[in-house]
């Protein structure tokens, strides 16, 4: 069993998604089931609806699970196993108050020593504290494990003191719930962020105390750096999967990028299913990798190119393949769906003829061309059949030349003073001329200037 264990306490970020993808790929490669475990033990920080949001994103990315469980459903089992450990003297009640422990932390800091819990403190405040926590006894010998990315990782016994497994309200701590559930669901391999490295020996200690001798595989992914080179935080917009999708990046492009980050891949552009053939977690670089939005933009454009015209149109909420064909042309200068939408919207919204380029206005020329174009459209002129015929007819009717002709014509057809060659896009625009050649409401009053 492979598992992805998100917490419903915030938005899914790209580090979470990367871990989910790798666990999913390995499950497919090894013909094992893929489990989604919602880790909702932090009741105060859980955000209502975040679990559904996470599941919707996983579904969007094609990371379909075989089993879905909520960690809170196992609270009774967690408590039973904690009681079992207490009965075996492998865990104990600790009555230390938070104030007492904080004083010991300050004391250790003043002595410039790492803070370590001392088991002899457990009953010092027993008479005054009636809500003890449960601690598992610390390691008696070093704990090491093999990490598929980092190699052997070793923690000495003194680094793993007695730690809390049940809080004063009876809710299991992250490490205890995680270790127990990995055992209950027979998880075999775990891919997660390197911020969990220090949790791993504690979870191994819990397994050993419970008599669970299965050796799990681990791979701890290096952190993702922001473009500035510092650790990417939740304040970085690009760290949010939802933000990337809102910006118009395709799920398959994001997936392609996250799989290839710090990795050796046989091809530059690929789909999730392709990676089943060659992905190896051991090829992931040990060092942190910097998030490169330009690289993602390139991959997104390549994946957009792979769409057929109908598929592209549907992504733009249109059923007309001509819109898809037009969108594919704009990939010459755009990389995301949002950028494409901006181009398409500019074509189909009423045109503002007062816009300028280098402080130069084409307003009067726009009015002249608009008048002739509307006449041609209303009379179903044969000159509208192709760009050369249109151009020739309008040049004759308007007596305009050079940029005083082409700039206003571009404004009326595309809403912009620059862009793709009109000869390239006109074959698709001509089907929509009646809707395209319209003016902003405030510009209708200026039509008399064309007379």
Counting every residue written for the chain, the total comes to 451
d(CA 108, CA 122): 18
Residues 6+ away with beta carbon under 8 Å from 122: 92, 93, 94, 95, 96, 135
Q: 139: number of CA atoms within 13 Å, CB side?
A: 20
Q: Looking only at Cα atoms, what is the longest distance across the chain?
A: 101
In whole angstroms, give the CA distance from residue 391 to residue 408. 12
Q: Which residues are annotated as a binding site?
A: 234
Cα gap 242→170, rounded to integer Å = 35
Which residues fall in the annotated binding site for ATP?
234
Cα separation, 379 vs 315, in Å, equals: 34
Beta strands in 322-447 (DSSP E): 356-357, 360-361
Q: H/E element holding 362?
A: none
Cβ–Cβ < 8 Å for 412, 373: yes
């Amino acid at each position: 069993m492979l598992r992805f264990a998100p917490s419903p306490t915030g938005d899914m970020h790209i580090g979470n998604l990367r871990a989910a993808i790798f666990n999913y790929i390995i499950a497919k490669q090894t013909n094992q089931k893929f489990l989604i475990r919602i880790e909702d033990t932090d009741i105060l920080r859980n955000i209502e609806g975040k679990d559904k949001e996470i599941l919707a994103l996983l579904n969007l990315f094609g990371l379909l699970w075989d089993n879905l469980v909520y960690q809170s459903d196992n609270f009774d089992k967690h408590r039973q196993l904690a009681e079992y450990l207490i009965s075996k003297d492998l865990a104990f009640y600790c009555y230390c108050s938070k104030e007492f422990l904080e004083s010991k932390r300050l004391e250790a800091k003043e002595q410039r020593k790492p803070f370590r819990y001392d088991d002899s403190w457990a009953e010092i405040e027993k008479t005054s504290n009636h809500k003890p926590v449960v601690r598992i006894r610390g390691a008696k010998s070093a704990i090491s494990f093999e990490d598929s990315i980092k190699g052997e990782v070793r923690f000495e016994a003194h680094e793993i003191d007695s730690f809390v497994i049940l809080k004063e309200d009876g809710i299991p701590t992250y490490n205890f719930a995680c270790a127990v559930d990995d055992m209950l669901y027979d998880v075999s391999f775990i891919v997660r962020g390197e911020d969990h490295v220090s949790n791993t020996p504690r979870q191994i200690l819990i397994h050993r105390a419970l008599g669970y001798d299965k050796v799990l595989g681990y791979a701890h992914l290096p952190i993702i750096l922001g473009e500035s080179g510092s650790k990417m935080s939740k304040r970085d917009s690009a760290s949010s999967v939802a933000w990337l999708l809102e910006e118009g990046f395709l799920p398959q492009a994001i997936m392609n990028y996250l799989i290839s980050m710090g990795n050796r891949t046989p091809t530059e552009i690929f789909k999730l299913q392709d990676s089943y053939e060659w992905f190896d977690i051991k090829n992931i670089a040990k060092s942190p990798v910097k998030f490169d939005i330009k690289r993602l933009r390139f991959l997104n454009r390549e994946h957009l190119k792979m769409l057929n015209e109908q598929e592209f149109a549907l992504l733009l909420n249109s059923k007309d393949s001509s819109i898809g064909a037009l969108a594919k042309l704009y990939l010459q200068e755009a990389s995301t769906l949002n950028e494409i939408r901006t181009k398409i919207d500019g074509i189909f919204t009423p045109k503002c003829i007062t816009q300028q380029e280098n402080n130069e206005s084409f307003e009067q020329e726009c009015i002249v061309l608009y008048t002739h174009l509307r006449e041609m459209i209303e009379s179903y002129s044969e000159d509208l059949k192709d760009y050369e015929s249109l151009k020739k007819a309008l040049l004759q009717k308007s007596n305009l030349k050079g940029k005083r002709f082409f700039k206003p014509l571009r404004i009326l057809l595309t809403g912009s003073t620059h862009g793709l060659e009109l000869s390239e896009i006109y074959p698709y625009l001509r089907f929509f001329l009646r809707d395209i050649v319209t003016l902003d409401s405030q510009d209708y009053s200026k039509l008399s200037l064309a007379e």
